[in-house]
Chain A
Amino acid sequence: MRRVLTIAVTVWRELLRRKEIYVLLIMLAAMLYALLSVNIFGLGTTARYIMDLGLLMACFFTLVLTVTISSRQLPDEEKMGTIYPLLAKPLTRVELLLGKWLGAWSIISCASAVFYLLVALVVRAYGGSFEWRTLAQGWVVHLSGLGALAAMGIAFSTRMTYGAAASMSYVVIASSFCMLPRIPEMLVGLKGARATVLSAVYYLFPHFELFDMRLRIVHEWGMVPWTSFTILLSYGAVLTALFLFVSWLGYRRKHFQRGAAL
């Protein structure tokens, strides 16, 4: 575990010093300020849409961060050549993968907590109402999805370049948000091979859209029942474990070559 934590701490140091998170935080604050200054038909401003757009941006930023950070960890190690002194130490590849995942997920979790908190405080300051418990539940569910997403980014990057792994991750995310929820509607009146293929896609694709509770938070629908909440977290954990296993399969026997330098 010490080795896993050592790798995770290095990921933290990298991200804190690259300042991407601070830039996104400033962007979020600027966007909230811009929204607050909008005068709606001379009636002043309202808080719910600020909550809505604020949480949307918070989710979007953490999603971009997750994909960017997780997809570049392994390719960057290879590109910089740091993988060689790293794996020349008694560090197994499983430990390296777990350390990278833990580092990426934990720092993104903290970043998302700051993003959520900023949005919540601004909304409260402007008289908006929401339930803290639902917000906390939504954040935990969101983190569960981000964990799976980080594992997916790492899994793609074991055998792809950073750009390819990030692109693949975005394609999967976009599909799960835009295409998967439409499949039950598309299947109405559809039979045969097309229906089978669509059903298979529906069940096999990761359902990242399930980890988005913004609607409940913004429109004050209350908390998700605890049973469903537990199932959601379990689903996130299973997805994470699955992607980390795929990462290990892709990485355990990977040969590293140093190109012309060899």
Chain B
Amino acid sequence: MSIAIDIHDLSVRFRERGHTVEALCGVTLSVNAGEVFGFLGPNGSGKTTAILVLLGFVMPDEGEARILGENVRNPIARERIGYLPEKAETYPFLTGRELLRMAGGLFKMPRAALKKRIEELLDQVYLSEAADRRIATYSRGMLQRIGLAQALINDPDLLVLDEPTGGMDSLGRMEIRKIIAALRARGKTVFFSSHELSEVELVCDHIAIIKDGRIAARGAVSELVPAAESLEQYFLRTVMRSGTRTGGAV
């Protein structure tokens, strides 16, 4: 099985008001292709920093990160990934269709193929009717769905989702879950960061829990979480103690 994400001994430090803050400290993690991987942690634990390293926004001080075999410093690494940020920020002055056309343009997709892909995606995220409306008029759920559509424009092999269901109603969450399930069925890798532990439990095969910039636990959900516990109980127990737990053994 090929590796979709390979992070090795990754450290990131920030200078803040004269102090050095260790955002990530010797993080090692790998995600197999075709997995839906949940990346969990309390606020400020380093989740988003790790995602920003994967996307090339933050350069690591030590260690290395590779996605789909390419070093994250290389823009080619981003040819085959899709990214949906936490708040699905996008241009309010564009229409949904224009946003997708722009996203496709950045992947240099042929125009005919792009047109077809846009129609497919609009249909997939239930935005065909609102496609020619300005994004400024979209609801929170519609914003999240158009954000997801732009992340999928290049039919990515790896999809990075940062809190994709944050602030959505249950119907919206269900739609996102359906899309993730469809991606898994097609063998795509989904790297999923979330606070919504019930969501993670429903869609993820494997998880990693990060605390204070270090991996506190990682493995298959079924192996890590005891049968008598929910993922939420396990998560709370894990983040309140130190040490790394792999495949159920700390």
A positions within 8 Å CB-CB of B: 2-3, 5-6, 9-10, 13-14, 17-18, 80-82, 84-92, 253, 255-258, 261-262
**Contact A85 to B90, CB < 8 A, known contacts A90-B106, A255-B59, A256-B58:** yes
**Contact A2 to B57, CB < 8 A, known contacts A81-B89, A85-B89:** no
- Complex A-B, nearest 3 residue pairs according to Cβ-Cβ distance, in ascending order: A81-B89, A6-B105, A88-B83
Give the total number of A-B pairs whose CB atoms are below 8 A apart.
94
B75 at interface by CB-CB < 8 Å: yes
- Report B-chain residues with C-beta under 8 Å of the C-beta of A88: 55-57, 78, 81-83, 160
**Are A80 and B102 in contact (CB-based, < 8 A)?**
no
Shortest Cβ gap from B20 to chain A (Å): 14
**Are B93 and A13 in contact (CB-based, < 8 A)?**
yes
B contacts with A, residue count (CB < 8 A):
40
Q: Which of B44-52, B214-222, B231-239 contacts A (4 or more CB under 8 A)?
A: B44-52
User: What CA separation (Å) do A3 and B151 show in the bound complex?
Assistant: 16
**Are B52 and A6 in contact (CB-based, < 8 A)?**
no
User: What CA separation (Å) do A10 and B100 show in the bound complex?
Assistant: 12
B194 at interface by CB-CB < 8 Å: no
**Are A2 and B108 in contact (CB-based, < 8 A)?**
yes
**Are B57 and A255 in contact (CB-based, < 8 A)?**
yes
**Are A84 and B59 in contact (CB-based, < 8 A)?**
no
**Contact A84 to B57, CB < 8 A, known contacts A14-B91, A17-B93, A91-B106:** yes
**Are A3 and B106 in contact (CB-based, < 8 A)?**
yes
B126 at interface by CB-CB < 8 Å: no
Shortest Cβ gap from B203 to chain A (Å): 21
Q: Other CB < 8 Å A-B pairs besides A88-B81, A255-B59, 7 of them? A: A6-B106, A84-B83, A87-B55, A89-B78, A90-B107, A257-B14, A258-B48
B189 at interface by CB-CB < 8 Å: no
User: What CA separation (Å) do A18 and B134 show in the bound complex?
Assistant: 12
Task: Specify which of A17, A18, A90, A92 lies most central, judged by the most chain B CB atoms within 10 Å of its CB.
Answer: A90
Partner of A87, one of B49, B56, B93, B102: B56
**Are B48 and A261 in contact (CB-based, < 8 A)?**
yes
B89 nearest CB neighbor, chain A only: A81
User: What CA separation (Å) do A253 and B73 show in the bound complex?
Assistant: 11
Task: Specify which of B56, B78, B91 lies most central, judged by the most chain A CB atoms within 10 Å of its CB.
Answer: B91
**Contact A6 to B89, CB < 8 A, known contacts A85-B150, A89-B107, A253-B59:** no
Q: What are the interface flags for B73-95 relative to A under an 8 Å C-beta threshold, 1 for contact and 0 otherwise? A: 00110110111111101110110
B38 at interface by CB-CB < 8 Å: no
Shortest Cβ gap from A165 to chain B (Å): 20
- Report B-chain residues with C-beta under 8 Å of the C-beta of A82: 89-91
Shortest Cβ gap from A35 to chain B (Å): 34
User: What CA separation (Å) do A92 and B150 show in the bound complex?
Assistant: 18
Partner of A10, one of B82, B85, B102, B151: B102
Shortest Cβ gap from A7 to chain B (Å): 8
Shortest Cβ gap from A86 to chain B (Å): 8
**Contact A262 to B44, CB < 8 A, known contacts A81-B87, A85-B150:** yes
Partner of B93, one of A18, A81, A91, A255: A18
User: What CA separation (Å) do A255 and B90 show in the bound complex?
Assistant: 20
Q: In chain B, residues 41-74, which have Cβ atoms closer than 8 Å to a Cβ of chain A?
A: 44, 48-49, 52, 55-59
A79 nearest CB neighbor, chain B only: B89
B40 at interface by CB-CB < 8 Å: no
- Report A-chain residues with C-beta under 8 Å of the C-beta of B106: 3, 6, 86, 89-91
User: What CA separation (Å) do A87 and B76 show in the bound complex?
Assistant: 12
B57 nearest CB neighbor, chain A only: A256
Shortest Cβ gap from B151 to chain A (Å): 7
**Are B78 and A90 in contact (CB-based, < 8 A)?**
yes
- Report B-chain residues with C-beta under 8 Å of the C-beta of A261: 48, 86-87
Q: In chain B, residues 132-160, which have Cβ atoms closer than 8 Å to a Cβ of chain A?
A: 134, 147, 150-151, 154, 160
Partner of B55, one of A5, A17, A84: A84
B136 nearest CB neighbor, chain A only: A17
